[in-house]
Amino acid sequence: MPDWRAQLRKASFRGIEFYYSGAGSDGNGRRVVVHQYPKRDDVDIEDLGANARRFSISGYLLGSQLGSALFNVRDQLEAAFNAAGPGTLVHPHYGAISVHVESAPLSYNTRQGGMVSFEAQFVRASSALPQPRATLDTRTLLAQQADAMLAAQVARFVVGYVTGGQPEFVRRDAARVLNAATDVMGLAGPISAEQAPAQVATALVAGRAALARQGPTIIGNASVFGANLADPVGHTPTAQLEAANQTAIVHLVRLVGLIAGVDAVTGGAFVSFDDAIATRNTLLGYIDTAQLAAADDTLYDQLTALRTALIRDVDQRAGPLARLETYTPRQTLPALVLAWTLYGVANRDAEIINRNAVFNPGFIPGGQPLEVLNA
């Protein structure tokens, strides 16, 4: 039967070997808190986790073995004990363990040709706990910037839109522009020009959610709303008022369209890096157009802040997404087989079919380039 001594490891710390006369461990058990209550015979035990596992070693270096190198090895061992961070302890009983040094006092005597002895206490190193990392909520910041800009421009509309107490033809002209706005925004019913300016603004802003659901084409139409509207004729005060009302409505509809595009970004998810960047660039084009038409520096600055927030949000969210690439199958294959070939799974066939407008999923022609994700 093998002697148990043959199973002992040679002790070392951070690669520096030493002799030992004793070794042990501590820290078995759990950290528990006992809660006792008046008028109750039983108790509640709260388990707070395992105790820190500790190891102790009584070690020494012998001058009779090391000769003149005794003090060099001692200095190396002291440096290893004092080094920051965990180190590898080869424990004679437990093998290699990653530990921190709690204490390791050294002593010297003249026995055995000179001896350096120590009583080292180690605590097992734990796996690194995740450190808190501050991240910028770019999606929320973008939404807040859009809301703030829209609120400011609604307040501007309420001041600039006037129909109360005006001739009937002024209200009729405002209704003409509002009806066109209703059509482009996909609103359910007409907006009465007889309402107070705040109510008209609320009705126009209500188209924001509908536009965000309809996609970039409809949003684009709203962002250039008014380009085909006839301007009021004349230079009388009422004609100038008609023109001011039309400008106010056009301005607000365009802004609502732009904000709806931002809503589509903050409320949705991108399939690929390329889709995200294309959406970002489309909206940046709308912002550029709005800045060119900005009537004052305040609106221009708000649009600049919106541009910055949009770029920051989309770029952060697009970074980890898969990229689009071109793939040309060598032979005609079913979409299921092609999905398996590209991704190792067959259930991504719909992705290939929809992205490439495949007519017959059972026969994707070979030799024709396809647009696919690279992951």
What are the tens digits of pLDDT across the range 242-270?
888 888 888 888 888 888 888 888 888 88
Taking only the tens place, the pLDDT of each residue in 268-277 is: 888 888 888 8
pLDDT value at residue 5: 52
pLDDT value of residue 2: 54
Which residues are within 8 A (CB) of 273 and not within 5 positions of it... i.e. 6 or more apart? 318, 319, 321, 322, 323, 324
Rounded to two decimals, what is the model's pTM? Answer: 0.61
CB proximity list for 44: less than 8 A, separation 6 or greater:
34, 35, 37
Residue 96, SS3 per DSSP:
strand
Q: Does 3 have pLDDT greater than 70? A: no
Contact 287, 259 (CB under 8 A): no
Q: Where are the beta strands (DSSP E) in 104-230?
A: 106-109, 115-124
Give the whole-angstrom CA distance, residue 20 versus residue 333: 70
What whole-number distance in Å separates Cα of residue 313 and Cα of residue 308? 9
Phi (first) and psi of residue 93, to 5 degrees: -100, -35
**Ordered structural domains, the chain, with CATH:** 4-124 (2.40.30.200), 138-318 (no CATH), 324-373 (3.10.350)
Q: How far apart are the first and last CA of the chain?
A: 57
pLDDT tens readout for residues 59-84: 888 877 777 788 888 888 889 999 98
